Structure 1
Amino acid sequence: MGWMKRMVQKWLQIQPALQQTAYLTERSTNETRAIINKIWYRGDADELDQLYKQIYQGPGATGRFWAASPKSGIRKIHTGLPAIMVDTLVNLVRGDLPDMDFTDPATAARWEELAEEIGWQNLIGEALTGTLVEGDGAFKLSIDASLSDHPLVEFAPTTGVDLRFRRGHFAGANFRTMYTGLGGKVYELVEEYQPGRVGLQLLDNEQPAALSCVPELSDLKPVEHDKRVCLAVPFRVFSSSRWPGRGASIYEKKTDAFDALDEVASQWLDAVRAGRVKQYIPEDLLPKSVETGGLMAVNDFGSKFIALQTGTHENDVSKIDTVQPEIRYEAYLSTYMTALDMCLQGILSPATLGIDVGKMSSGEAQREKKDVTGNTRNAITAAMEQVLPKLAETILQADDIMHDRPTSTYEASITFGEYGAPDFDSRVETVAKARAAGIMSDQAAVDELWGSSKEDDWKAAEVKRIQQERGIMEAEEPAVAEAAAEKW
């Protein structure tokens, strides 16, 4: 077929396209991007201003609001939306965090003690916050008998850990921590976590140094343990399209929208400041001092005015003119809501943040927006259902290692409920209809009403109470036949 292609090209005079090459320069590394996202979460306007003026330099970079250097004293305002978004999602997920399930009751009781010791709820909240902001991270398990009889669990986000993967599988992590040694010199401790081993390396400007350079690290030693166990567990929710194997922040592709929202808010409030009421008062109407005869400032709760020359024409009348510029609030509000919608698009519904969106669009569109929060929450819980059982199993194995017990294999699981579950009144109404139709048992009704909020023993007793009130009694079977058999 090649001869036909060449013949057609010759007949139509088609010139083949030349291979083109484009060179792109990345402005930031994965760690730098994580630091930028962290500053957005901190929400300090002064830090944002300093960061953008240092990082975003060159053609086109200063077009961003936070990178621009205004000639006049324009106030730059940060709305705090990035932090509100993450905190809202974390509260949604952590508020519904279910208990860990184990196949062995003894393991479940042991896990409850460990979870209370390590502060499970707070640990997961901090880890989820760091992951959503910076992109990913890893749980670090360590053993220190001087601090606790159980393993210590910490979470290190992107800026504190390097994750290693081999053919798509987690192979280990290097946790980095800064320490101040003798003479005020700063060192970096690298803890190398891999299956069966935890190594230590102290660096001085990327050069190896002795652990004795930092007195508090002088007693640390590498640890060897079961090669089937790695005391580091990675955690990420979204995958990065820029750095393979790493996670993506929830701020990914949203920082420009945050920058635009802050610009709109700053412009709006700057217009409000410029639109303050101004009074033009002729000099002959200004108050004068009785003692000196000089002009006195009008003290009407800090009012400001502009003095005018007294009119000299025949028909001039001295009067006070009050002027206030017209501020187009509707235009500013429309622009603000558009920028806000760009920030939340694909992540959260405005209603989730308590924003009144009744007049923004139709009811059907609002229902679709509410589904966005559920989709984001489901993505987070799906990732946690994979990671948290693995973390719980590793904590139990680390506890075995700490107490010189044989390392066992544990099976844990966790299941999150649905987002936007009906309230108690709605469940009562649904259960009542099902009971009236005779399609739900007493046990199913109690489980549907109380779920995991009550213990199994309490629910079993509640079923008995309901049955007793309905006149249903449990009685033992008569032993007449057994007694007769024993007699004969």
Structure 2
Amino acid sequence: MPLPAENSPWPPREHATNLVRLREYDAWYAGDPDRLTRVYSYRLTTAPENRPSQYRGGVVGRLARWWWGQPTPAGERRSKIHVPLPADIASISSDLLFAEPPTLTWSDTATAARWENLTEDLRWHAQLSAAGELGAAFGVVFLRVDWDTSVADHPVLSVVRADHVLPEYRWGMLRALTAWTTVHTDDSGSRVMRHLQQHEMHGGQAITLHGLYEGTQTSLGNAVPLDAHPATRGLAPVVETGLPMLPVVDVPNMAPSRLDPGSSLGRSDFEGPLLGLFDAIDEVYSSWMRDVRLAKARVLLPDAFLSPLGPGQGAMWDEDREVYAALNIPPTSDGSITLQQFAIRVREHRETVDDLVRRAVEAAGYAAATFGLTSSDGGGAMTATEVVARERRSFVTRQKKINYWSPALRRLAAVALHVDQLVFGRPVTPEMPRVEWPDGVSESPLVLAQTIREIATAEAASIRTRVELLHPDWDTARVDREVAAIRAEQGADIPDPVDTLRATGGVFGEDQEDDAVA
């Protein structure tokens, strides 16, 4: 399939509806007030102003009547404040998945050893964390494996935002993808250069097409040589990768999308009623700050308290002056200084914001406790079981997302190894690894130490079992070294019978037990 034709509308009309929705999600995720105002005012410029759409009915009028779409009255400064709850939701989603990253295990020893080094070269953990945030915000995220022998001697992993991708699906599976990057925009914004990178399967192998176009904000424009810009210089128009699969994987956040149930794209954590709740939270918080602004103390005083500055220069009040001349005013008039200060409705605003935040968090699929909205009972340290009980909703959502991430990570790791083998000649065996996810919450060291102490006192487990309980992420060799060190410190050089039987594969029979007792 060739690259898009020159002078095509950009973005393509068939993707316009989805990209408009992603633009809305992006504004909330970024939290930029100017961007939110433009989205809900249907403007593409940087200076918001009153428009007729704000005052008419229909879909445009309905969206424009959102609080962020309401025009600022003439002569007033904009005083709207954004509460970054959408970004917090996306960040929490990524933390639940990748604060403790999953472990990939391989059947081939050489491949496993190479993967340990490759994870650092790929910035595997950092890229997964970034992808987790973008996937929660946009509903789907794409991860791509590239290579450039002039820059690095290993594959390169990059995260591609959903609002810069035109995917093609068949039977719910990604069959082709076109990603674009804006590499240059002139000062006026009228001249735009875009780099298009298209991936597809042809003849059983992945093919990558590169194109550079010079156009406008709404038109792809004409194709220009790839050497016309430093970002694409040296790239070949067609690359036969030799890979048996696409070098890019898609990871839906959740499914299905409530706005488009037939779509293969995922569902954003912001989808549905959450955007309205975000808008209401910002409105209430801005009202709170408005109360603070209006409640500044103001002094009202008669003209007699003002000292003239001269003809045409006005007058001033000296707040340090102690004595004023006698005032010739009627006895019934109020000639005193008045201090005016309005009340700040702190409790009403705080309770309203807390309720809206709680509803938004729960609508996104998370427990309020995950966001610190519920204090722990007793104020003491909680066990992992207690944490899971309080945050069950969040862990259920995490497990749902793991179901989408696991197959994607297996394919992505296999692609990286294929590139490492085909392009850089590394002696690895590309295969699909096994993905093991941590529990997501760990016991505190104190609780775990108390548990192990009770087990040791009851003589219910060997030294090896206790070490494995304390360090579940250690491999066998490291556990062996720790067991040997503990025995040496305790002066117990006699092998542990349980470990001996485990190593030999034997078990005590009844006769052996009788002989041992005798």
What is the CA distance between 1:356 and its match in structure 2? Answer: 5.7
Q: Could you list the per-position Cα deviations for residues 395-444 of structure 1 after superposition, in whole angstroms to 9, with x for gaps in the alignment?
A: 00111120357994413122122133211111111222222233222111
Residues of 1 paired with 2:425 and 2:482: CA distance? 44
Residues of 1 paired with 2:495 and 2:450: CA distance? 32
Segment drifting more, 426-435 vs 367-376: 367-376
Out of 359, 370, 392, the position equivalent to 1:342 is 359
1:392 aligns with 2:398: no
Residues 451-466 of structure 1: pairs in structure 2 closer than 5 A = 451-452=472-473, 454=474, 456-466=476-486
Given the superposition, is the C-alpha separation of residues 75 and 207 from structure 1 closer, same or farther in structure 2, using an over 3 Å criterion?
closer
Equivalent residue, structure 1, for 2:344: 327
8 Å contact from structure 1 (residues 193, 231) kept in 2? no
Residues of 1 paired with 2:314 and 2:185: CA distance? 68
Equivalent residue, structure 1, for 2:162: 158
Which residue identity is paired with 1:248? R
Given the superposition, is the C-alpha separation of residues 62 and 324 from structure 1 closer, same or farther in structure 2, using an over 3 Å criterion?
same
Q: Could you list the per-position Cα deviations for residues 196-236 of structure 1 after superposition, in whole angstroms to 9, with x for gaps in the alignment?
A: 13232535645773535735446414222446332122122
1:222 aligns with 2:238: yes
Segment drifting more, 401-410 vs 369-378: 401-410
Given the superposition, is the C-alpha separation of residues 146 and 355 from structure 1 closer, same or farther in structure 2, using an over 3 Å criterion?
same
1:200 aligns with 2:239: no
1:450 aligns with 2:459: no
What is the CA distance between 1:179 and its match in structure 2? Answer: 3.8
Which residue identity is paired with 2:146? S
Which residue identity is paired with 2:181? T
TM-score by length of 2: 0.74
Out of 225, 238, 244, the position equivalent to 2:263 is 244
Out of 3, 18, 23, the position equivalent to 1:35 is 23
Given the superposition, is the C-alpha separation of residues 124 and 367 from structure 1 closer, same or farther in structure 2, using an over 3 Å criterion?
closer
8 Å contact from structure 2 (residues 278, 360) kept in 1? yes
What is the CA distance between 1:471 and its match in structure 2? Answer: 5.1
Equivalent residue, structure 2, for 1:13: none
Residues of 2 paired with 1:406 and 1:210: CA distance? 39
Out of 55, 59, 62, the position equivalent to 1:60 is 62
Given the superposition, is the C-alpha separation of residues 358 and 431 from structure 1 closer, same or farther in structure 2, using an over 3 Å criterion?
closer
Residues of 2 paired with 1:367 and 1:119: CA distance? 30
Given the superposition, is the C-alpha separation of residues 102 and 331 from structure 1 closer, same or farther in structure 2, using an over 3 Å criterion?
same
Which residue identity is paired with 2:331? E
Residues of 1 paired with 2:388 and 2:153: CA distance? 50
What is the CA distance between 1:465 and its match in structure 2? Answer: 3.3
Which secondary structure does the structure 2 equivalent of 1:173 belong to?
A: strand
Residues of 2 paired with 1:262 and 1:174: CA distance? 36
| Bigger radius of gyration | 1
Out of 398, 417, 435, the position equivalent to 1:414 is 435
What is the CA distance between 1:339 and its match in structure 2? Answer: 1.4
Equivalent residue, structure 2, for 1:5: none
8 Å contact from structure 1 (residues 181, 187) kept in 2? no
Which secondary structure does the structure 1 equivalent of 2:339 belong to?
A: strand
1:473 aligns with 2:493: yes
Given the superposition, is the C-alpha separation of residues 43 and 156 from structure 1 closer, same or farther in structure 2, using an over 3 Å criterion?
same
Residues 206-355 of structure 1: pairs in structure 2 closer than 5 A = 206=220, 209=223, 211-212=225-226, 214-216=228-230, 217=232, 219=234, 220-226=236-242, 228-239=244-255, 240-241=257-258, 242=260, 244-253=263-272, 254-286=274-306, 295-298=315-318, 312-316=329-333, 318-346=335-363, 347-355=365-373
What is the CA distance between 1:88 and its match in structure 2? Answer: 2.9
Unaligned runs of 5+ in 1: 1-25, 301-309, 360-365, 477-488
Out of 158, 163, 186, the position equivalent to 2:193 is 186
Which residue identity is paired with 2:127? L
Which secondary structure does the structure 2 equivalent of 1:86 belong to?
A: helix
Residues of 1 paired with 2:349 and 2:485: CA distance? 61
Residues of 1 paired with 2:432 and 2:346: CA distance? 59
Given the superposition, is the C-alpha separation of residues 332 and 150 from structure 1 closer, same or farther in structure 2, using an over 3 Å criterion?
same
Segment drifting more, 216-225 vs 143-152: 216-225
Which residue identity is paired with 1:402? V
8 Å contact from structure 1 (residues 352, 373) kept in 2? yes
Q: Could you list the per-position Cα deviations for residues 28-62 of structure 1 after superposition, in whole angstroms to 9, with x for gaps in the alignment?
A: 71122112111111111122112210168633223
Given the superposition, is the C-alpha separation of residues 283 and 213 from structure 1 closer, same or farther in structure 2, using an over 3 Å criterion?
same
Which residue identity is paired with 1:231? P
Q: Could you list the per-position Cα deviations for residues 162-186 of structure 1 after superposition, in whole angstroms to 9, with x for gaps in the alignment?
A: 2222222332322223344999662
1:428 aligns with 2:449: yes
Segment drifting more, 394-403 vs 326-335: 326-335
Segment drifting more, 430-439 vs 30-39: 430-439
8 Å contact from structure 1 (residues 139, 233) kept in 2? yes
Given the superposition, is the C-alpha separation of residues 345 and 299 from structure 1 closer, same or farther in structure 2, using an over 3 Å criterion?
farther
What is the CA distance between 1:328 and its match in structure 2? Answer: 2.9
Which secondary structure does the structure 1 equivalent of 2:103 belong to?
A: coil
Residues 7-26 of structure 1: pairs in structure 2 closer than 5 A = none
Q: Could you list the per-position Cα deviations for residues 238-294 of structure 1 after superposition, in whole angstroms to 9, with x for gaps in the alignment?
A: 12231511112111121111001001111111122222222222334446779x998
Equivalent residue, structure 1, for 2:382: none
What is the CA distance between 1:332 and its match in structure 2? Answer: 1.7
Which residue identity is paired with 1:279? V
8 Å contact from structure 2 (residues 114, 428) kept in 1? no
8 Å contact from structure 1 (residues 172, 232) kept in 2? no
What is the CA distance between 1:125 and its match in structure 2? Answer: 1.7
What is the CA distance between 1:105 and its match in structure 2? Answer: 1.8
Segment drifting more, 178-187 vs 163-172: 178-187
Which residue identity is paired with 1:71? P
Which residue identity is paired with 1:209? A
What is the CA distance between 1:297 and its match in structure 2? Answer: 2.8
Equivalent residue, structure 1, for 2:35: 47
> What percentage of aligned pairs have identical amino acids?
22
Residues of 1 paired with 2:360 and 2:460: CA distance? 47
Which residue identity is paired with 1:199? T
What is the CA distance between 1:138 and its match in structure 2? Answer: 1.8
8 Å contact from structure 2 (residues 142, 249) kept in 1? yes
8 Å contact from structure 1 (residues 79, 262) kept in 2? yes
8 Å contact from structure 1 (residues 181, 215) kept in 2? no
